[in-house]
């Protein structure tokens, strides 16, 4: 056990946790840096501390001074915590869409909270940027933290997040997947990591409705649209974001984001916010497309406890029309899959291992149920078959029933996806049955890949 002389000493040095069940077993190792384990519950603690200490060093913040910020919430909590310890006043300007929990948290830590509309352009005098600027100008001894344009934001991640990721992966990292709010996390961490290993791929996850993906790909500033995920995506290009360091951007819908966040909580025990879902969705896809000897790191920016009345509330999700995947049956899921794969792809127990491997390669799958007519008799996995064949090449000519494993469990296709989750946690796949006859096969990965496209 250790003890520290101030809560602020606990900012940073967050642990990295392996993503086990949700990650494709044939893809890269996937690790999540759990930023909600910072004492203020988000990645923003790092920059709140760095920015305030920068103001102190530069003589901009004197005892009794005030720190003002426009913030979607987490920066406010971080700043409120830092100001509470250091004896400054914090005035936080928040969007009206920021969750109630975030406002209450900032107030609990002694900050003053001012609410502004989210649906006005950044240059409107009612926008949260404009209001924060006006309050700073009108308050004696006040400084604007200005996380969207303050170089100390990038610097905090360059000096802490980047080196921590490098050290925690022993330099093995091949790809980083992060979100872009102010852009500080991805820019600072990517700058450090690319200096260490220039061919690291930097992926950004961006909500549909944000302008950043289009801007990166076309150079055009388009009109953004509203989305429900908080903390990431923009309707302008922040000064703390260097898009030259970002190799690829993938868009994710609110529905996909919230669904993945809920799965991450239920299956990995990692309770992140909505943006966690956006980012982890991209990280799962990126890792699945890479090799098992490669390493992908992703960021969990904040805690899901801040969204209990939102994405973790079934009522709220239903109200927003976002719960369809929970009502989905395995049959509906199989139909989505059958647009890419014919009916049920299986192996015959009398076929050879070589034929089973060919079948997997043809359909780009890594496991198959073994069916003897209508009987579900066993299972084969590409990784096991290849390992056996490496040891003894003649295995390729043996019959499947000589080497197959236990059959996958059978479930009636009318069962709901949600009710089958526990089985899919225990087994990599399930065989779907209609009147006890096998008619389809669903894997864990299908649940992630297809349920959020409903
Ligand atoms: C919930 C959440 N996710 C992600 C981010 C993105 O981090 P950054 O601002 O460093 O780009 C933020 C920032 O506000 C956030 O609050």
Rounded Cα gap, residues 169 and 115, in angstroms: 41
For the Cβ of 224 lying below 6 angstroms from any atom of ligand 1, the answer is: no
For the Cβ of 429 lying below 6 angstroms from any atom of ligand 1, the answer is: no
Two tokens, residue 433 = 């049955």
Q: pLDDT value at position 161? A: 98
Torsion of CA 127, 129, 130, 133, to 10 degrees: 150
Q: Determine the distance separating the centroid of ligand 1 and the alpha carbon of 336, expressed in angstroms.
A: 33
425 and 393, same domain (yes or no): yes
- 103-111 LR contacts (CB < 8 Å, sep 24+): 103/73, 105/41, 105/73, 105/76, 105/77, 105/80, 105/306, 106/73, 106/76, 106/77, 106/80, 109/77, 109/80, 109/81, 109/84, 110/80, 110/83, 110/84, 111/76, 111/79, 111/80, 111/83
For the Cβ of 72 lying below 6 angstroms from any atom of ligand 1, the answer is: yes
For the Cβ of 182 lying below 6 angstroms from any atom of ligand 1, the answer is: yes
Last residue of a domain, one of 87, 113, 144: 144
For residue 210, the cross-strand partners are 208
254 and 135, same domain (yes or no): no
Q: pLDDT value at position 5? A: 96
For the Cβ of 232 lying below 6 angstroms from any atom of ligand 1, the answer is: yes
Q: pLDDT value at position 450? A: 63
For the Cβ of 185 lying below 6 angstroms from any atom of ligand 1, the answer is: yes
Two tokens, residue 110 = 């002694």
95 and 77, same domain (yes or no): yes
Closest residue to atom 15 of ligand 1, CA basis:
231
416 and 340, same domain (yes or no): yes
List, for residues 101-150, the tens digit of each pLDDT value.
778 889 999 999 999 887 888 788 888 889 999 999 999 999 999 999 99
Rounded Cα gap, residues 55 and 454, in angstroms: 49
Q: Look-up: residue for tokens 């992926």?
A: 203
* Residue 1 is assigned to a structural domain of this protein: no
342 and 446, same domain (yes or no): yes
Q: Is 44 a catalytic residue?
A: yes
131 and 229, same domain (yes or no): no
Determine the residue of 231, 237, 276 to mutate for testing ligand 1's pocket, defined as the one with the most ligand atoms within 8 A of the Cβ atom.
231
For the Cβ of 303 lying below 6 angstroms from any atom of ligand 1, the answer is: no
Q: Determine the distance separating the centroid of ligand 1 and the alpha carbon of 351, expressed in angstroms.
A: 52
Q: pLDDT value at position 341? A: 65
Predicted TM-score of the model (pTM): 0.75
* Residue 121 is assigned to a structural domain of this protein: yes
Q: Determine the distance separating the centroid of ligand 1 and the alpha carbon of 163, expressed in angstroms.
A: 19
Q: Determine the distance separating the centroid of ligand 1 and the alpha carbon of 141, expressed in angstroms.
A: 27
Q: Determine the distance separating the centroid of ligand 1 and the alpha carbon of 115, expressed in angstroms.
A: 19
What is the CATH number for 208? Answer: 3.40.50.1100
Q: What is the chain's percent helix, strand, coil content, to nearest 5?
A: 45, 20, 35
The SS3 call for residue 429 is strand
* Residue 167 is assigned to a structural domain of this protein: yes
Residue whose C-alpha is closest to residue 429's, from 411, 415, 442 = 442
Rounded Cα gap, residues 165 and 192, in angstroms: 10
Closest residue to atom 2 of ligand 1, CA basis:
231
Of the candidates 44, 281, 310, 381, the residue annotated as catalytic is: 44
The domain in which residue 127 lies consists of 44-144
Please give the tally of structural domains in the chain. 3
32 and 129, same domain (yes or no): no
Q: pLDDT value at position 417? A: 81
Q: pLDDT value at position 327? A: 63
Q: pLDDT value at position 333? A: 79
Q: Determine the distance separating the centroid of ligand 1 and the alpha carbon of 181, expressed in angstroms.
A: 5
129 and 162, same domain (yes or no): no
For the Cβ of 183 lying below 6 angstroms from any atom of ligand 1, the answer is: yes
415 and 307, same domain (yes or no): no
* Residue 2 is assigned to a structural domain of this protein: no
pLDDT along the chain (454 residues), means of 10: 95 98 93 98 98 97 95 89 97 83 89 89 84 95 96 98 98 98 97 98 97 95 91 91 98 94 94 98 96 98 94 87 73 72 85 93 90 93 92 92 94 81 86 87 81 47
241 and 385, same domain (yes or no): no
Q: pLDDT value at position 454? A: 38
96 and 214, same domain (yes or no): no
Determine the residue of 158, 188, 252, 302 to mutate for testing ligand 1's pocket, defined as the one with the most ligand atoms within 8 A of the Cβ atom.
302
Q: What does each C-alpha distance from 234 to 202, 213, 224, 229, 253 come to in angstroms?
A: 18, 10, 8, 11, 14
Ordered DSSP codes for 8-45: GGGSS---EEE--SSS-TTS-EEEEEEGGGSTTSBTHH
């Amino acid at each position: 056990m250790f003890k520290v002389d101030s809560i602020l000493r606990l900012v940073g040095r967050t642990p990295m946790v392996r993503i086990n069940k949700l990650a494709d077993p044939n893809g890269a190792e996937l690790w999540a840096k759990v930023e909600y384990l910072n004492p203020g519950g988000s990645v923003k603690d790092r920059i709140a501390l760095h920015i305030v200490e920068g103001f102190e060093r530069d003589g901009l913040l004197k005892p009794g001074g005030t720190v003002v910020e426009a913030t979607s919430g987490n920066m406010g909590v971080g700043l409120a915590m830092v100001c509470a310890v250091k004896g400054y006043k914090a005035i936080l300007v928040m969007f009206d869409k920021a969750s109630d929990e975030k406002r209450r948290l900032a107030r609990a830590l002694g900050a003053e909270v001012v609410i502004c509309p989210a649906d006005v352009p950044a240059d409107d005098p009612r926008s949260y940027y404009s209001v924060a600027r006006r309050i700073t100008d009108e308050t004696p001894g006040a400084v604007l933290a200005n996380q969207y344009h303050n170089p100390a934001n990038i610097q905090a991640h360059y000096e802490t997040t980047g080196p921590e990721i490098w050290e925690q992966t022993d330099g093995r990292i091949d790809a980083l997947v992060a979100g872009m709010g102010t852009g500080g996390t991805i820019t600072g961490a990517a700058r450090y990591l690319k200096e260490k290993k220039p061919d690291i791929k930097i992926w950004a996850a961006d909500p549909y409705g944000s302008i950043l993906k289009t801007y990166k790909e076309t150079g055009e500033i388009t009109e953004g649209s509203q989305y429900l995920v908080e903390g990431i995506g923009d309707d302008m290009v922040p000064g703390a974001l260097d898009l030259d360091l970002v190799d690829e951007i993938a868009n994710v819908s609110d529905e996909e984001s919230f669904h993945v966040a809920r799965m991450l909580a239920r299956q990995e025990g990692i309770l992140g916010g909505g943006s966690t879902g956006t980012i982890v969705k991209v990280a799962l896809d990126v890792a699945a497309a890479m090799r098992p000897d490669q390493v992908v790191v992703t960021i969990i920016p904040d805690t899901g406890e801040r969204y209990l009345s939102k994405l973790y509330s079934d009522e709220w999700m239903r109200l927003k029309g976002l719960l369809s995947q929970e009502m989905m049956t395995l049959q509906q899921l199989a139909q989505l899959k059958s647009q890419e794969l014919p009916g049920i792809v299986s192996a015959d127990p009398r076929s050879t291992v070589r034929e089973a491997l060919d079948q997997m390669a043809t359909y780009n799958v890594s496991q198959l149920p073994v069916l003897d007519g209508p009987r579900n008799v066993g299972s084969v996995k590409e990784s096991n078959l290849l390992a056996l064949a490496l040891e003894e090449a003649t295995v390729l000519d043996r019959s499947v029933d000589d080497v197959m494993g236990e059959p996958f469990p059978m479930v009636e296709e009318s069962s709901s996806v949600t009710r089958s989750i526990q089985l899919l946690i225990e087994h990599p796949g399930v065989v779907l049955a209609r009147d006890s006859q096998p008619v389809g096969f669903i894997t864990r990965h299908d649940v992630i890949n297809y349920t959020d496209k409903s």
